[in-house]
Structure 1
Amino acid sequence: MQTGPRRRHQRARGQRRRVADRDARPRRARVLERHGEDGGMSERHTTPRTLLDVFFERVKVAPEAEAMRWLGPEGALCATTWAEWDAKARALASGLIEIGMAPGARVVVLSRTRVEWAWLDVAILMAGGISVPIFPSELPASCNRVLRDSGARVAIAENPWQLKKLLEADPALASELQLVLIDEEMTLATGAVMTSAEFGVSPHRVLTLDELEARGAARPGKQTERELAARIAATEPDGCATICYTPGTEGQEKGVMLTHENFAFTCHVLDQLLGLGPQDTQLLYLPLAQAFARLALWVGVRAGVPTAFARSYRTVFEDARTFQPTYLAGVPRLFEKTQEEVEAELLAAGGWTSLVAGWVVGNQKRDNTANEGVFARARRELGTRLVTRRLRDRFGGKLRFAFSGGAPLGVETARFFVAHGLPLLEGYGMVETCAATHINRLGDCGIGTVGRALPGVEFRLLEDGELCVRGKNVTPGYWGNRDETRKVLDDDGWFHTGDLAEVDDDGRLVITDRKRDIIVTANGKAIAPRPIAERLRADPLIGQVLIHGDRRTFITALVSLRRDPLMRFAEEHGLEGDYEALTRHPRVFAAVDMVVDRVNATLAPHEVIRKFAILQSEPTTEAGDLTPTLRLKRRVAAEKYKALLDSFYSEPF
């Protein structure tokens, strides 16, 4: 089989919980197991009803305490208090009202994670709006779909580059938007300065964030206070707070509605479970377009934890040394990378350090050290102290624990962190469940599991092993998409996750497989494989396609070729040989490589196929590769070609 070379990144660049038509909902199946927790929490606070309750309580309790930290221009260390955040959000909310934002209006936010995102999150809620986050890596076509589906008429972009995406998406649609820029200009890698004026946008349609705030501050005092107070008072627990778009199995994004109650309940439960407080600091680097990151931000608000904003994923460790967090939330890839780099540094150090590091790395694979000798135990403890110091220093020296979510965590990585005194708490959740249904706790952590259900959250396993959950954290449905809602929410309020699970002997949940046809990479990116495969299959030469990458760091593919088109290609290019021989021919490989390149040019960076292989035989129903309708059985193919797929990630490009 021929394996493709390294792929290049291409520049292409209020709702009710119950709905009608019950017969279209998931069928009730006999439940094998059902679980839930109702207690275990001390009532330190009254349970909040809305996210604004969460925020205002924190401002009232500790107005002058530090709320956020970040690095400003030239690396200056900046901070703001809860009272200052409140004042900033009120001014921005008044500005949104001034430019015509009505209650219930959707507001798109297209930006990386930064302090202004947090200001805007509260401001949009205060003004009675619904935030609609878009990942900063999305392409114009995806932005267009979100704009159209959400019906947003206000869009906030981080900089001119992100603004350009919104304008390119659909000029007619973009002409109806009131646009706001967080940064008026940006410096490109070439040194050139980009501004919005380059795109021919009428200046009256583009405000800077400072101008938006100024408009709010300029409104008559009593009128502003009355209108803002009325919108805040009208906020209800079942009101939609945000719409988070996530890929559907057909590739079309679905807007997951999350209510004030969804977030307020989940924040309250996690605050009670984890015992966080103002003595802590969390480092936030995950994109706030991700429900997991938004939850982390709001749990911090509930607990009074200052949030430090990392500049980017690439600067996490540098920023950790600056802010010295006591905990952080991350995707598995961050922790895998940490393990890889710490081990590599120690093994490369030479001498006694390398020897001790080698002992530690070998010892990690042992589940039981009870029978080790005195010398082995002393050696292990010495190595553990050495690695622990390096590991803690990497995160600033004060890290107590970390959360892992967004994708499954490798057992070896979890063991590495726990063995060196840093509990890595894996949890489980989906956008539709406000990012959390289960979590491992400090002092109650089961490696290889996602822990126990949150108090107040029920779960059950159906006959086929599918996990269903019910609780105040569950979405009321998909925005404007009752058909998709009926597929996942049944009449009794159970959300069908599409994931298969089992409960271990200690009562912790273990996710065993994915029933949904969605890939989640090690970086937590959700990818619909079917549209990518269909784009490849649009070429006459390409037959069946397996898109692979669940829990992996990048996307790969296995491709079969259609026999008749392959033979015609051989005839046209003077090639000889049977089907198997032709699949190995360099000219055939080059032709497939061109198809992959062409498709890659239409994909977002995290969707790009980095490696591929051409299969030497056609999948058949007789061999069990295809369904009766001639669709590839993805799990069968993944198991059949496991060695080849694994080699994509173990061998260099």
Structure 2
Amino acid sequence: MPSAPLLTRADGRVREVSVPALVPRVARGSLADLPYDNARQDPDAAVFSRKNPDGTWYDVTAARFAADVHAVAKGLVAHGLRPGDRLAVMARTTYEFTLLDFAAWAAGLVTVPVYPTSSAFQVRWILQDSGAVACVVEDADQARLLSAERRHVPGLAHLWVLDAGAVEQLRRAGQRVPDETVTARRGLLAPEALATLVYTSGTTGRPKGCALTHANFFAEVDNAVKLLHPVFAPEGGEPPSTLLFLPLSHVFGRMVSIGCVRARVRVGHAPAVEGDALLDDLAAFRPTFLLAIPHVMEKVYDRARATAERAGKGAAFDRAARTARRFGRTGDPSLSVRAARALYDPLVYRRIRAALGGRVRYVICGGSPLGVRLAEFFRGAGVEVFEGYGLTETTAAATVTPPLAPRTGTVGLPLPGTAVRVADDGEVWLAGPHVFAGYWDGARGASVPYTDGGWFPTGDLGSLDDDGYLTITGRKKDLLVTSAGKNVAPGPLEDRLRAHPLVAQCMVVGDDRPYVSALVTLDHEGLAHWRRMRQKDHLALWELTRDRELLAVVQKAVDDANRLVSRAESIRAFRVLTTGFTESSGHLTPSLKLRRRAVLRDYAREIDEMYGAYAE
């Protein structure tokens, strides 16, 4: 168990909180050693599972993974890659991505993950800025995209394609490289060595490369694994396992992947983020815990609600949901709530768990707030949700829900080894050994430190309660100031609106305006269900955005979100759009964050129309 939080108060409020580390810092070695250590200590342990063409899964032992890592590392050496060279990897969440990560480290390289959905400009910029000398892509389309940009990246000497047999090509190329060469390169790596450059999504301007060291990852995963012991340890004789489906190009998925290798937890990879393919993989793999973002959990809930409504059992589902929330709200529910939960478990909650594979007991949720209602619901349905908060610059989680002391609505206490400070203007500052080495300077070929006396200013706004739990209220740069001088954080309103099954994305506006408004886009799956249930399949999308019944539903969702804020901060007008905010449209980052400037620019007319009828 972690030690009690150490609190610092000022003006009657908690302004700083820290939690001592649960494990000592790693003094030698690197992430490259993990596969070799696992193979030596437990060679027959199943550390990965891979999917056969028929949909079944087979295990990869620790010994097999270490052999794969070693062979690919020798292939990278054979192609002339030197210690410290950067290897870019552009692929979905696959076994090969993780294999390349560890093989590159074993060869003394630095990996540079690239989102597979990145534009040509983004790929060019990342390769140029990082100084990558080699790149592995997943398929022919990505290879064509990169080939068209190679004249702008003269330092890129190698391009391999996974679908064209890149792993086997590297394996064959390395056959004549002595084993001792890779062993020697691994031996040169220290914890402080650069491990990876992870480029932020870039909601404005060009993405910045966050320089993360091996020591950053060790501090992060070792404390997280120790703190979340029930997640990563065998329970009831059942070994832990997870199916990774979030992008490994994002630090959140990458951190959990490394943590699982560190803890010898069996991992499967699913390239599909949602839909029937993911549901099929979950059913076949049957993980014990999942890494998710709120969007995924919202979809699980919405699908279950829609299925119940189609069967004429929507009201019963709603009663079950209310019971689950009451049960999940307290650690000691009343006898009547316990009885009601037992009644609904085989009817509703078991189906929720079945949608996640049937054996999931824990979900680690991050990226944005899940919301009180959904967190309480899943806890009541038998799935414990650990929420966390962090950034690429902090190697993922900086705070996390304590296993035995959850506090719904917060992002938990500092991860052991971390300190959290709230500045006078409400900005959240973080410190700890997992805080990055700095932003990469492509011109200098090195990272530039970016801390203030050891503290990293996150740009997020938040508050600490009397026990040190952190609540995030929004982004400092996103703060709206109405013409009446009222400060409004759009994040909580947007998060609450997005939780509605009809809403895909939304953006709250109102900077230098008389009141707050919102642009709303419709969720394709939720809208299709709503149309079927109300026999409005004949209406075109533009007609639906003007349909009184649909607008009334959205208004109800807006009213619900407005309960979070004062009248002056509430949404007074909204516009339902016929087009969505997507990554391809340029309105979302690969991690689904809003590009607010792009939305403001492209929907300026719609925004002006929401204020056109206003009179002083």
If the length of structure 1 is used for normalisation, what is the TM-score? 0.70
1:523-571: CA deviations, max 9, x gaps? xxxxxxxxxxxxxxxxxxxxxxx999964443658799xxxxxxxxxxx
Q: Return the index of the structure with the highest Cα Rg.
A: 1
Aligned equivalent of 1:335? 297
Aligned equivalent of 2:369? 408
Q: C-alpha separation between the residues in 1 aligned to 2:112 and 2:23?
A: 34
Which residue of 106, 110, 117 maps to 1:126? Answer: 106
Stretch moving more, 313-322 or 364-373: 364-373
Q: C-alpha separation between the residues in 2 aligned to 1:602 and 1:438?
A: 28
Tell me, yes or no, if structure 1 residue 33 matches structure 2 residue 15.
yes
Q: C-alpha separation between the residues in 2 aligned to 1:61 and 1:558?
A: 56
Which residue of 116, 128, 131 maps to 1:136? Answer: 116
Tell me, yes or no, if structure 1 residue 383 matches structure 2 residue 344.
yes
Aligned equivalent of 1:616? 609
1:490-548: CA deviations, max 9, x gaps? 1x2111111111122333111122114599xxxxxxxxxxxxxxxxxxxxxxxxxx999
- Output aligned runs, 1:186-585, within 5 Å: 208-217=166-175, 219-220=176-177, 224-248=178-202, 250-275=204-229, 276-277=232-233, 279-314=239-274, 315-350=277-312, 354-363=314-323, 378-480=339-441, 488-490=450-452, 492-517=453-478, 551=495, 552=498, 553-554=504-505
SS in 2 for 1:155: strand
Aligned equivalent of 1:155? 135
Aligned equivalent of 2:53? 73
Aligned-pair CA distance for 1:305: 0.3
1:146-198: CA deviations, max 9, x gaps? 011011110100011111221223434268431111102xxxxxxxxxxxxxx
Q: C-alpha separation between the residues in 1 aligned to 2:494 and 2:128?
A: 29
CA 511–169 in structure 1, closer or farther in 2 if over 3 Å, else same? same
Stretch moving more, 481-490 or 311-320: 481-490
Aligned-pair CA distance for 1:618: 7.3
Aligned equivalent of 1:110? 90
Stretch moving more, 243-252 or 224-233: 243-252
CA 385–463 in structure 1, closer or farther in 2 if over 3 Å, else same? farther
SS in 2 for 1:498: strand
Q: CA RMSD in A?
A: 3.8
Q: C-alpha separation between the residues in 2 aligned to 1:300 and 1:508?
A: 26
Contact 2:365–2:386 (8 Å) recurs in 1: yes
Contact 2:345–2:381 (8 Å) recurs in 1: yes
Contact 2:289–2:360 (8 Å) recurs in 1: yes
Aligned equivalent of 2:146? 166
Q: C-alpha separation between the residues in 1 aligned to 2:209 and 2:301?
A: 35
Aligned-pair CA distance for 1:213: 1.1
SS in 2 for 1:479: strand
1:589-608: CA deviations, max 9, x gaps? xxx999x99x9479878669
Counterpart of 2:254, as a letter, is: R
Higher relative contact order (CA 8 A, sep 6+): 1
Aligned-pair CA distance for 1:459: 1.6
Contact 1:47–1:265 (8 Å) recurs in 2: no
Unaligned runs of 5+ in 2: 1-9, 481-489, 499-503, 512-576
Counterpart of 1:302, as a letter, is: R
SS in 1 for 2:98: helix
Q: C-alpha separation between the residues in 2 aligned to 1:142 and 1:371?
A: 51
Q: C-alpha separation between the residues in 2 aligned to 1:54 and 1:86?
A: 9
Aligned equivalent of 1:88? 68
SS in 2 for 1:493: coil
Q: C-alpha separation between the residues in 1 aligned to 2:438 and 2:332?
A: 53
Aligned-pair CA distance for 1:62: 1.0
Counterpart of 1:439, as a letter, is: V
Q: C-alpha separation between the residues in 1 aligned to 2:447 and 2:346?
A: 51
Counterpart of 1:216, as a letter, is: G
Counterpart of 2:200, as a letter, is: T
1:457-508: CA deviations, max 9, x gaps? 1121111121111111000100117999879511x21111111111223331
CA 370–547 in structure 1, closer or farther in 2 if over 3 Å, else same? closer
1:21-54: CA deviations, max 9, x gaps? xxxxxxxx99962221115x478x9777521243
Q: Share of identical aligned residues, percent?
A: 31
CA 90–155 in structure 1, closer or farther in 2 if over 3 Å, else same? same
SS in 2 for 1:505: coil
Unaligned runs of 5+ in 1: 1-28, 185-206, 520-545, 561-591, 624-653
Q: C-alpha separation between the residues in 1 aligned to 2:100 and 2:479?
A: 31
CA 84–414 in structure 1, closer or farther in 2 if over 3 Å, else same? same
Counterpart of 1:214, as a letter, is: R
Stretch moving more, 471-480 or 438-447: 438-447
1:337-374: CA deviations, max 9, x gaps? 11111122223323xx5553231234456597999998
1:189-216: CA deviations, max 9, x gaps? xxxxxxxxxxxxxxxxxx7321111111
Q: C-alpha separation between the residues in 1 aligned to 2:85 and 2:301?
A: 44
Contact 1:339–1:416 (8 Å) recurs in 2: no
CA 112–297 in structure 1, closer or farther in 2 if over 3 Å, else same? same
Contact 1:547–1:555 (8 Å) recurs in 2: no
CA 419–213 in structure 1, closer or farther in 2 if over 3 Å, else same? same
Contact 1:556–1:611 (8 Å) recurs in 2: no
CA 249–112 in structure 1, closer or farther in 2 if over 3 Å, else same? closer
SS in 1 for 2:441: coil
Q: C-alpha separation between the residues in 1 aligned to 2:20 and 2:144?
A: 49
Q: C-alpha separation between the residues in 1 aligned to 2:431 and 2:138?
A: 36
Counterpart of 1:459, as a letter, is: V
Q: C-alpha separation between the residues in 2 aligned to 1:554 and 1:109?
A: 29
The alignment covers a number of residue pairs equal to 504
Aligned-pair CA distance for 1:118: 1.0
Contact 2:26–2:218 (8 Å) recurs in 1: no
Contact 1:343–1:361 (8 Å) recurs in 2: no
CA 372–267 in structure 1, closer or farther in 2 if over 3 Å, else same? closer
1:224-260: CA deviations, max 9, x gaps? 2232122101101111100000144642110001000
Q: C-alpha separation between the residues in 2 aligned to 1:42 and 1:105?
A: 31
Stretch moving more, 109-118 or 274-283: 274-283
CA 96–559 in structure 1, closer or farther in 2 if over 3 Å, else same? same
If the length of structure 2 is used for normalisation, what is the TM-score? 0.74
